[in-house]
Structure 1
């Protein structure tokens, strides 16, 4: 029952208060720790960078896992109510529903006002690609893709690891996820961030597929296409470079019956190969609490 109370309270905190400022957010501190580790990451060649990348991931995980583990273990023996409250607060810090919703709805509102320039700017909070030249349909596509993928690593994965390893396990997962977002890229971080990127892929293997299942189930309750979600999920999930990202994105594309495309990387072609802007845009507010009567 404690697990259920912790999760429900964490969800209530998220819905009522949203995300805390960076000054109080553990993920921001994770980013600072990673930045400190990164300074010494390029003092040697490829082998040094790869080994250093492994070491810094596990040390950073320990820095957040161990204190949280012993704190909650102590609180559990002192007062169960305080234990549940603190656990819920820490769990909420590791996932976001409200923040993702606000970011998506902001893009929708800017597009409604035809403020393409500002929409491109705000979209940077959701995607890592260059948004400066994206036309309106691809702005919607990028937002939909990011929301679909973030359902996995932003909510399903934290809940998955919470159920298995408790709050300390979620903290460890967030460390790896933050590493991947900061150094899990080719080019400069090819060797330094390789382990973090691969480790993140392993950790998200099951959650990404569970998130696709969640989108599929949600399509039954919305005005979308469960058959399309199922068909495109299986047909197109392998089109992304990531072994995980394609599952929720392909499922969302099939449910919405749209074409989601990142030029030069992947596309989920449906029907006439064009993004049906109205339907995808509608999902941004229908799926995140907006006006269901919009076209």
Structure 2
């Protein structure tokens, strides 16, 4: 019984750790360790010819997922069974916590609005630059808020709903494998220099994020038939097969337009968001995050119950 009880309690404990403490320092954070490994490998592989870079990137991705997934499976199958259930639950929670990051996402997005109101546009751009890879120096107040809301919606899927969903489905190996895949995509999944070395990682992340992105949209979207009919149209406006779903749902929820200049515009007839809209977006994302945690906890309890 130790293993099922530990599985059922691990996610609530990990959620509490996230709420109380947020992210551990980089020197102790497994995702930061991954970044220090994946970064140099990606830079090396990106210098190879296209076929060699693609094969090397694919093999590195597969090796990483296999190694981390196997280690996580060993922990669940061997270590947790050997411990009393309270210790097993705490250990599993500590290992699960780095796989998702709700508090950090909420605080960082909220800090953009705080900086905009209290310190002005340059400070807000500086806070936003911590969240996105695009150039933010030319953004006005409306564009800063749009970008912050888009980042909140997209990362709600990637950093919260998806790892919890994969934990609910496959336990710790699922959450760990997804976090590796999403980190590899963030490090390698770019066009240009990383085009071939990161192609496998980008496509694998698209596949693994497909269902969670749509689940996130369902958790965000108002229960109105018109919004549900409009969502596929809005999601199709973005070049990403997944990002448009949570971003489109958030745009429809708030009744605002969101976009990336020269690339796409979601809910184009709606006005740009104001300060109240960013706060509403944070409340809506919080409700969706808690709902995802609750659903995942229920799914794990049902899956691990000794029927």
TM-score (norm 1): 0.89
Mapped pair 1:14 → 2:12: no
Which of 240, 262, 265 is the matching residue for 1:264? Answer: 262
CA distance in 1, matches of 2:101, 2:91: 17
Contact 2:153-2:285 within 8 A present in 1 as well: no
More displaced 10-residue stretch of structure 1: 108-117 or 63-72 = 63-72
Displacement, 1:185?
Answer: 0.5
Which of 213, 232, 238 is the matching residue for 1:208? Answer: 213
Which of 184, 200, 224 is the matching residue for 1:179? Answer: 184
SS at match of 2:242: coil
Displacement, 1:107?
Answer: 0.6
SS at match of 2:232: helix
Q: Please, what is the CA RMSD of the aligned residues?
A: 1.8
CA distance in 1, matches of 2:228, 2:94: 36
- Residue in structure 2 matched with residue 148 of structure 1 by the alignment: 153
- Residue in structure 2 matched with residue 292 of structure 1 by the alignment: none
Which of 3, 27, 30 is the matching residue for 2:34? Answer: 30
Contact 2:152-2:285 within 8 A present in 1 as well: no
Mapped pair 1:46 → 2:43: no
- Residue in structure 2 matched with residue 282 of structure 1 by the alignment: 279
Displacement, 1:270?
Answer: 4.2
SS at match of 1:230: helix
TM-score (norm 2): 0.86
Displacement, 1:51?
Answer: 0.5
SS at match of 2:171: helix
CA distance in 2, matches of 1:234, 1:42: 35
More displaced 10-residue stretch of structure 1: 12-21 or 32-41 = 32-41
SS at match of 1:205: helix
Mapped pair 1:55 → 2:56: no
Structure possessing the higher relative contact order (Cα contacts under 8 Å, 6 or more residues apart): 2
CA distance in 1, matches of 2:9, 2:35: 29
Contact 1:104-1:284 within 8 A present in 2 as well: no
- Give the alignment of 1:1-295 within 5 angstroms: 1-42=5-46, 44-79=48-83, 80-216=85-221, 219=222, 226=224, 229-271=227-269, 273-287=270-284
Contact 1:69-1:168 within 8 A present in 2 as well: yes
Q: Which runs of 5+ in 1 are unaligned?
A: 221-225, 290-295
Displacement, 1:31?
Answer: 0.8
Contact 1:3-1:163 within 8 A present in 2 as well: no
CA distance in 2, matches of 1:165, 1:74: 16
Contact 2:252-2:267 within 8 A present in 1 as well: no
SS at match of 2:271: coil
